[in-house]
C-alpha cells in the first residue's frame, strides 16, 4: 500500500466533554459499531461486571469516571479509526490538553438536559487555539431535555463556534421517536436497546405520508416545520468550514441506547480530516513526507499489573514507522531502537510491525522517553505545542510503611513520568512534595501507589503558592541564592532546581531582591 493511500484512510480523533455527559458510553458504542467489541460495557457501577472498555484502570471501574486517556484503534468501512477517549473531570485536564495535541479532530459530547457546561467551554478553548475541527453530539435524547434550537443557540454563544445540525430529533424523553438525518435524508426510528443496532429507513421526500405512519401525524408535522426552519436559518453545510474549525456539525442521539451513533460515525468518516501537517521547531512537517517522525504525548506505567511495564504513546506524524528500525531520539541526541511496538484496544494490545501517519503506537520503554520527546529518522527538530502546567495544589508525601520505601519511591517516580503530577524533593531533609492541577489527582496517586506498587502513603497539605524553576547566567549568584533560601529549595524529578514560594507577595519580594535569578513557571525554559 502507498503512503498516500494509508494516510487517506486514517482518522485520528479525541472525544471530549464535561463529566457525565456520556463520553465514555459514546466511545463504547463507536467501538461496537466498528466491530471492535461484541458487547458494550457499563461505565457507572463497580457492581457491573462488563466495564467500559476504555475505563480499564481499577480506580476508573470503582469511581465510574475516566482518569486517563485511553487509546483505541479499529476499522470501519475500510477506514482505520484511532480514537482517544479523554478524562472529562477538570482535575485531569492536563492529560486531556496533551491528548488534544495528538488528534486531528474532535467529537464533543453535550448532555441535552444540562447543555454546555464549564469543562466543555475550557476544552473548546484548546480546540480553538489550534482550529481543530469539532463535531458536536447532543446526547441523552431518551431523557426530557431542553429544546433543540435552544441548545444550538447555547453552543454557538458559549463555545464561540457556528453550528449546523446534520440530524434532528423527533420529540424527546418518553415520547422520543427517533432522528431524521438531514445529511443522508433518512429516518432512524428509536427503539430502546443497549445491545442492538437499528437500521435507518430511507426517506426520499420528508412530505411523504410514510413519515406520518412511522412517527405519528403530529410528530411528522413538527419535524417538517423544524426542517423547514433549519434549512431557512442555517446555511448549507460546508465541509471546508468544518475542516477549518469555523462550523461544528451537530448530531442528536442516545449513546446508551446505541441511537444516533451510526449516523455520527458514517458522516465522521466522510468529512473528518485525515492526518494533518504539524509544526516543529524547524519547519512544518507534512504526513506525506517519506521520512518517519513522531512525538510522545503520553506515558503510562503498569498497563498490565502482571508485568511492570512502561509504555510511551507515540503519535506518528510523517512517513512510515517500522518496528526494529533505529530512530533518532532528538532530546538525547542518540539512536534508539524499539523491538516491541504495539497497537491498542484500551489495555489489550497487539504487536505491530509498521504504522503510518495518524496511528498511535505504544513503545515499551525503560525510562528513556518523556512526554514531548520527538523521534525522527535523523532530522534534529522537535514537535511543538505540548502544554505543561505549573501545579496549583501541593502536599507532602508521608510514607506509612517504612518497609516499602523503595516501592514508594519507584511508584512516585513512574507516576510523575506519566505527567500525572510533579514531584519536588527538598534539598534539606529530603522531604517530598507532590504538586497537582486538581485535588482528585491525589486520590488517584494514593490508590495507584497502593494497588500497583504495594506502597502506602498519606498526603499532608503544604503552604506553597507556586513552584518556580530557577536559573541564572551568573553561577555565583545562583549559589548565593540557594544558600540564602536553602529551606525552600527543591529539585524536580529531572534534578532541576526549584524554588518553593509560600505566597504571591513573598515571591514578588524575593524576585525584587535577587534580580540576577530567573524564575520560570514551567520546567520548559
Query: Which residues are known binding-site members for GTP?
Result: 17-24, 85-89, 139-142
The binding site consists of: 17-24, 85-89, 139-142
Beta-carbon contacts of residue 156 (< 8 Å; ≥ 6 apart):
162, 163
For cell 499489573, the residue is 305
- Cβ(368)–Cβ(280) below 8 Å: no
CA gap 312, 341 in Å, rounded: 10
Among residues 59, 66, 121, the alpha carbon closest in space to that of 88 is found at 66
Residue 239 burial (10 A CB sphere; 0-12, 13-18, 19+)? middle
- Cβ(377)–Cβ(293) below 8 Å: yes
Beta-carbon contacts of residue 236 (< 8 Å; ≥ 6 apart):
none
CA gap 86, 67 in Å, rounded: 8
Strand pairing report for 10-17 and 79-85: parallel
DSSP label of 41: P
Beta-carbon contacts of residue 198 (< 8 Å; ≥ 6 apart):
188, 189, 190, 191, 258, 259
Widest CA span in the chain: 87
Here the cell at position 33 is: 459499531
DSSP 181-248: ETTTTEEEE----SS--PPPEE-S-TTSTHHHHHH-HHHHHHHHHHHHHHHHHSPPP-HHHHHTTSEE
CA gap 171, 222 in Å, rounded: 9
- Cβ(345)–Cβ(36) below 8 Å: yes
> What is the per-residue burial (b if ≥16 Cβ within 10 Å, else e) of 168-180?
bbbbbeeebbbbb
CA gap 366, 209 in Å, rounded: 66
CA gap 52, 413 in Å, rounded: 29
CA gap 17, 108 in Å, rounded: 6
CA gap 408, 203 in Å, rounded: 62
Phi, psi of 167 (to 5 degrees): -140, 160
- CA–CA distance from 334 to each of 355, 368, 371, 414 (Å)? 22, 11, 17, 22
Amino acid at each position: 500500500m502507498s503512503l498516500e493511500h494509508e494516510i487517506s484512510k486514517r482518522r485520528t480523533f479525541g472525544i471530549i466533554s464535561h463529566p457525565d455527559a456520556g463520553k465514555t458510553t459514546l466511545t463504547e458504542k463507536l467501538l461496537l459499531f466498528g466491530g471492535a467489541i461484541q458487547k458494550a460495557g457499563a461505565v457507572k457501577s463497580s457492581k457491573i461486571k462488563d466495564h467500559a472498555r476504555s475505563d480499564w484502570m481499577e480506580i476508573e471501574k470503582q469511581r465510574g469516571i475516566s482518569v486517563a486517556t485511553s487509546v483505541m484503534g479499529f476499522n470501519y468501512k475500510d477506514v482505520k479509526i484511532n480514537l482517544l477517549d479523554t478524562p472529562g473531570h477538570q482535575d485531569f485536564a492536563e492529560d486531556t490538553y496533551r491528548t488534544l495535541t495528538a488528534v486531528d479532530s474532535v467529537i464533543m459530547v453535550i448532555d441535552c438536559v444540562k447543555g454546555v457546561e464549564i469543562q466543555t467551554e475550557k476544552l473548546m478553548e484548546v480546540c480553538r487555539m489550534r482550529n481543530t475541527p469539532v463535531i458536536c453530539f447532543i446526547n441523552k435524547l431518551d431523557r426530557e431535555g431542553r429544546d433543540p434550537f435552544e441548545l444550538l443557540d447555547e453552543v454557538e454563544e458559549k463555545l464561540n463556534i457556528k453550528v449546523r445540525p446534520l440530524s434532528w430529533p423527533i420529540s424527546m424523553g418518553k415520547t422520543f421517536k427517533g432522528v431524521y438525518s438531514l445529511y443522508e435524508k433518512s429516518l432512524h426510528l428509536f427503539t430502546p436497546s443497549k445491545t442492538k443496532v437499528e437500521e435507518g429507513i430511507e426517506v426520499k421526500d420528508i412530505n411523504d405520508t410514510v413519515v406520518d405512519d412511522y412517527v405519528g401525524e403530529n410528530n411528522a408535522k413538527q419535524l417538517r416545520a423544524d426542517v423547514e426552519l433549519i434549512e431557512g436559518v442555517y446555511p448549507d453545510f460546508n465541509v471546508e468550514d468544518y475542516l477549518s474549525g469555523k462550523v461544528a456539525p451537530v448530531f442528536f442521539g442516545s449513546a446508551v441506547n446505541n441511537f444516533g451513533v451510526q449516523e455520527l460515525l458514517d458522516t465522521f468518516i466522510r468529512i473528518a480530516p485525515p492526518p494533518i501537517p504539524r509544526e516543529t521547531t524547524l519547519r512544518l512537517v507534512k504526513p506525506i513526507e517519506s521520512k518517519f517522525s513522531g512525538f510522545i504525548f503520553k506515558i503510562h506505567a503498569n498497563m498490565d499489573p502482571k508485568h511492570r511495564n512502561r509504555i510511551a504513546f507515540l503519535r506518528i506524524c510523517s512517513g512510515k514507522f517500522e518496528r526494529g528500525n533505529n530512530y533518532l531520539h532528538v532530546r538525547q541526541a542518540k539512536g534508539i531502537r524499539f523491538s516491541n511496538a504495539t497497537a491498542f484496544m484500551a489495555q489489550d494490545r497487539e504487536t505491530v510491525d509498521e504504522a503510518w501517519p495518524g496511528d498511535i503506537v505504544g513503545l515499551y520503554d525503560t525510562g528513556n522517553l518523556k512526554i514531548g520527546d520527538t523521534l525522527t529518522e535523523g532530522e534534529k527538530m522537535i514537535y511543538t505545542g505540548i502544554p505543561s502546567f505549573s501545579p496549583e495544589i501541593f502536599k507532602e508525601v508521608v510514607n506509612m510503611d517504612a518497609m516499602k520505601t523503595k516501592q514508594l519511591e519507584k511508584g512516585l517516580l513512574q507516576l510523575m513520568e506519566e505527567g500525572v503530577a510533579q514531584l519536588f524533593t527538598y534539598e534539606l531533609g529530603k522531604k517530598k512534595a507532590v504538586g497537582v492541577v486538581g485535588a482528585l489527582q491525589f486520590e488517584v496517586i494514593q490508590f495507584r501507589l497502593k494497588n500497583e506498587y504495594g506502597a502506602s502513603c498519606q498526603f499532608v497539605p503544604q503552604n506553597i503558592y507556586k513552584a518556580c524553576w530557577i536559573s541564572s547566567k551568573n553561577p555565583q549568584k545562583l549559589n548565593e541564592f540557594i544558600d540564602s533560601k536553602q529551606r525552600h529549595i527543591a529539585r524536580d524529578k529531572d534534578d532541576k532546581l526549584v524554588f518553593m514560594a509560600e505566597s504571591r507577595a513573598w515571591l514578588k519580594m524575593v524576585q525584587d531582591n535577587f534580580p540576577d535569578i530567573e524564575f520560570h513557571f514551567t520546567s520548559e525554559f
